[in-house]
Structure 1
Amino acid sequence: MAVSDTVTETRQALGPVGVWLGALQREPAESQRSAALRIEELGYGSVFEGELVGGNDVFAQEAAWLCATSRIVTGAGIANIWARHPATAQAAAAALGDAWPGRFVLGVGVSHAPLIDKTGMTYERPLERMREYLDGMDRATVTPPARPVPRVLAALRRRMLELARDRAHGAHSYFVPPEHTADAREVLGPDRLLIPEQAICLETDPAAARATAREHTSFYLSLPNYVNNLKRFGFTDEDVAGAGSDRLVDAIVAWGDKGAIAARVREHRDAGADHVLIQPLSKDIPGALRQLEELAGALLPVSPGRR
């Protein structure tokens, strides 16, 4: 199957809106399965999660979610290259693709220096390491599934986006405003997947919404990759200090009523996103699911954007 066929089929399977819910990593298996099933019942096209070295195994969790559901696409956002040998990653992806054809998207990423260095490994040469990792995946002597597993790279800046264009089916971006989506689409061209994450808070009070948002932004603004990327779009040292200025917080976290959040999703779509992953900010999984329930009617008919 040609790359363009895989991209086309994946776009159709995903639809316009999915869910990024990394908080599920910390939940017992039964809670994870129950949440994935509820997200499927609500009509969202996907559910994605991340991976921390030593914190969770993204392939094992995806398998649990796939067992509990019948339609929804699951996605690794991302499988961490520092967590396993590239041939093992290729084998795990092939196994999921064989067992659940068309229902798994493999996101691969280099993570961040502060997170990797504390594991005892040394974070260095991220772009080169990613190239080497992809080489290792492609050399693996693994029988591929009949329907190829789409591979996307976690990509923020131009050179990683170019690698996603040249060596993968597209890119998965995180902690980005719609302006980044437009920039990424320009680099990727029309024939690659673009799957950005968008944090959301269904709260109309500005003070309450921004307080919730800053619980989210404070961690990510401690990671240089995200900070340096945001500065490309006009954010200043003052904007990225601490948990972020109001201007930055409002750009990264969509808050307000259902209409405001739907409008932000539409901005990403109109900027070139194939599939927007909303991440409901909440102190617990029931709270996140309540937001997804309230938003389903407003988000799932979202305008088709570039498609």
Structure 2
Amino acid sequence: MIQQGTSVGRLELGPVGIALDVLPGDEHLAQAAELEHLGYRAIWLPGGQIDDLSQISKIIYATTTVQVGAAILSVDRYRPETVAAFYGEMQGAAPDRLVVGLGGPQQPKPLQVMAEYLTSLDTSDPPVPAARRMLAALGPRKLGLARDRCAGAIPLLVTPEYTASARQILGWEGDLVIDQMVVLDTTASRARETARGPLRFLSTVSGYPANFARMGLSADDISGLSDRLVDALIAWGDMGSIVDRITSHLQAGADQVVVTVLSQDRQPRIMDVARGLAAHLPWWSSSS
């Protein structure tokens, strides 16, 4: 079992990953194979779209070397023995390619509940080692738990300044993976309206409003989803603007930035953005 204060990273995920939507049929499996061909070393599946753990294994089987992460599995939904059995299956079929991202719980004493869940994973047969699991974390106590009991943390909806402060808590041995939402659109009103889509829900989820406030956003910014809040949390504009935000997180201490593409109507979608960003991968790989 991992002891308090013991760091267990690194996952070596590469500097840029892509969040891949689970689509009807097999379209996303072909997209996963293309992402691997483009040079991405990690693909993340949004936890809210994972109805069955087999959706993760299908991505693993559709690719050959890329690491596949769940971002994230809710501990309120998936029992530790189920996650452990799935990890064991994937470890046997494709060693060290599954990254178990965990989040929640939405219940009283969440830190205690999460710590007990991680202990169950430590002692399962087979165990899920701390070195192959990540924790969705925002506040300092949750980041501390990620540092002590996991390979690292996956924060969402944060600024580069937050990234720098999270790195100080995690130290330099744990992995810090930043999930950055982006909109590839230079029309401000249209891009911001797309960005507000997930913000309308996430700004009501426990933990996010408090973290927005910690990052210097006012109560009016948060309640009104102001332009200031949108611009701080969501990268929008041309490809150069998105590259700049990714680079800012990497320079602030992120090991990887996971790009989550938001789009509606004719705005560029996941693969359009991923192909454009791929041209920058050699530069990121040599500079990170």
**Correspondences of 1:54-203 after superposition (within 5 Å):** 56-57=51-52, 59-111=53-105, 113=106, 123-142=107-126, 150-203=132-185
- Would you say the 8 A contact 1:203–1:209 is kept in 2? yes
Distance in 2 of aligned mates of 1:35 and 1:256: 24
1:299: how far off? 5.0
- Would you say the 8 A contact 1:94–1:149 is kept in 2? no
Q: Which residue identity does 1:202 align to in structure 2?
A: L
Matched residue SS, 2:154: strand
Matched residue SS, 1:273: coil
Deviations 1:50-103 (A, max 9, x none): 3249x612x311100011111211101111111222122122122212211232
Distance in 2 of aligned mates of 1:283 and 1:101: 37
**Could you say if the C-alpha distance between residues 165 and 5 of structure 1 is closer, same or farther in structure 2, counting changes exceeding 3 Å?**
closer
List alignment gaps of at least 5 residues for structure 2: none
1:235: how far off? 0.5
Matched residue SS, 2:9: helix
Q: Which residue identity does 1:76 align to in structure 2?
A: A
Distance in 2 of aligned mates of 1:273 and 1:79: 21
Matched residue SS, 1:7: coil
**Correspondences of 1:202-281 after superposition (within 5 Å):** 202-242=184-224, 244-281=225-262
Moved more, 127-136 or 98-107: 98-107
Q: Which residue identity does 1:277 align to in structure 2?
A: V
- Would you say the 8 A contact 1:262–1:302 is kept in 2? no
Moved more, 166-175 or 296-305: 296-305
- Would you say the 8 A contact 2:131–2:151 is kept in 1? no
Distance in 2 of aligned mates of 1:279 and 1:256: 14
Instruction: Provide the aligned C-alpha RMSD in A.
Output: 2.6
TM-score, scaled to structure 2: 0.90
- Would you say the 8 A contact 1:196–1:273 is kept in 2? yes
Q: Which residue identity does 1:128 align to in structure 2?
A: Q
- Would you say the 8 A contact 1:258–1:298 is kept in 2? no
TM-score, scaled to structure 1: 0.85
Distance in 2 of aligned mates of 1:299 and 1:219: 32
Matched residue SS, 1:278: strand
**Correspondences of 1:9-28 after superposition (within 5 Å):** 10-11=11-12, 14-21=13-20, 23-24=21-22, 27-28=23-24
Q: How many residues align?
A: 284
Deviations 1:101-138 (A, max 9, x none): 23221111115x4xxxxxxxxx2211111011011111
1:149: how far off? 5.6
Corresponding residue for residue 293 of structure 1: 275
**Could you say if the C-alpha distance between residues 157 and 209 of structure 1 is closer, same or farther in structure 2, counting changes exceeding 3 Å?**
same
